[in-house]
Structure 1
């Protein structure tokens, strides 16, 4: 006798417009809270207040604070790695690398909360982002280091240590987001500060890369 057919896997029902909107409200509020207080300092009450919702309503959409945090980190890593993934073989490696540098600077201008979310997670030892660093960032980092090392060996860019070059790019560009409060006090004219940052960062890294 033929075996009974296995039941078809249930397909999750698509979210309604209201559900999608409410999840977005929660994540937006959580980004504010986590970027300001870190994971340990953030509370569901703060997130619920920021979203204009009750805590039980927040828990209807997410299992808890960690689930919200992981959702934000997953989305962040996809966006954070995209510019590095786009760094590929180019006719002009200097311009390709400068494009990456300036994209990272612009991301710090547009996404300061996301940068601080990332920084807070790393400062805590990456308890929730560890798998992303191992499986996502590490192979990508190694591949791009190999590309930069080859460009240097071919004389197409100045000899630089690829890994430390990338560390320096991240440190310099993300400073403007992670230390935004300090930058705002020291350079209160935000428009002029960003204009100066672009000129300075471009000149510094271009000088490092030109053969």
Structure 2
């Protein structure tokens, strides 16, 4: 191996790192960062604590790795918004993807929400370097669509924040929703239809609305 070359992790190492991060997701989503311990994560991963520490320096390193992976996945639906597509359908498609993520990944949403509620002590740099540029880019795109008359006039930043608030509610308050809307299959269908109708009415230009 040449001097300075970085050795690629083996398949076993990659598998073990993934196992640790999956276990950490469960532990952090249940107990929060402060309540979680390395012992809990090691037990959930089915390995010893010293073996876990071989892969990660400590609890914070695991937490940051999990959050970074979540950030990439969480931003993908927003990044997919196509400037060349139909504006209303692009935004409604984004909302559908966000609702589907809330249905499939409530633990991940709660973990991210807990980090933000604590003031983003570990994710603040990533919010600045990754989330903010994408947010500004897509807000500018929405503003351009509205200026061209292809969407109703709206505050693009508040629109995106409202989309996050509504769609992620279904993940972050999953336990409450299960009590209030016990028909999970029908409840999700109703939720998707309601949220889509809400934003369709808000964003359809007056001259083209039904």
Q: Establish whether TM, by shorter chain, passes 0.5.
A: yes
Take 2:85 and 2:17, find their aligned partners in 1: how far apart are those partners? Answer: 44
Instruction: Give the total of aligned pairs.
Output: 205
- Contact 1:152–1:158 (CA under 8 A) maintained in structure 2: yes
* Structure 2: unaligned runs, 5 residues or longer: 206-210
Alignment of 1:1-211 (within 5 A): 8-211=2-205
Greater alpha carbon shift after TM alignment, 86-95 vs 27-36: 86-95
Greater alpha carbon shift after TM alignment, 133-142 vs 166-175: 133-142
* Structure 1: unaligned runs, 5 residues or longer: 1-7
How big is each residue's C-alpha offset from its partner over 1:64-108, in whole Å with a ceiling of 9 and x where there is no partner?
000100111111111111111221313420001101111111111
Task: Say what the alpha-carbon RMSD is for the aligned residues.
Answer: 1.4
Take 1:125 and 1:40, find their aligned partners in 2: how far apart are those partners? Answer: 13
Take 1:43 and 1:193, find their aligned partners in 2: how far apart are those partners? Answer: 36
Take 1:152 and 1:42, find their aligned partners in 2: how far apart are those partners? Answer: 45
TM-score by length of 2: 0.93
How big is each residue's C-alpha offset from its partner over 1:127-180, in whole Å with a ceiling of 9 and x where there is no partner?
111011111111111111111111111110111110010011001100111011
1:127–1:36 Cα change, 3 Å: same
Take 1:82 and 1:177, find their aligned partners in 2: how far apart are those partners? Answer: 17
SS in 2 for 1:159: coil
TM-score by length of 1: 0.93
- Alpha-carbon offset, residue 9 of structure 1: 4.0
Take 2:96 and 2:150, find their aligned partners in 1: how far apart are those partners? Answer: 20
State the structure with more CA Rg.
1
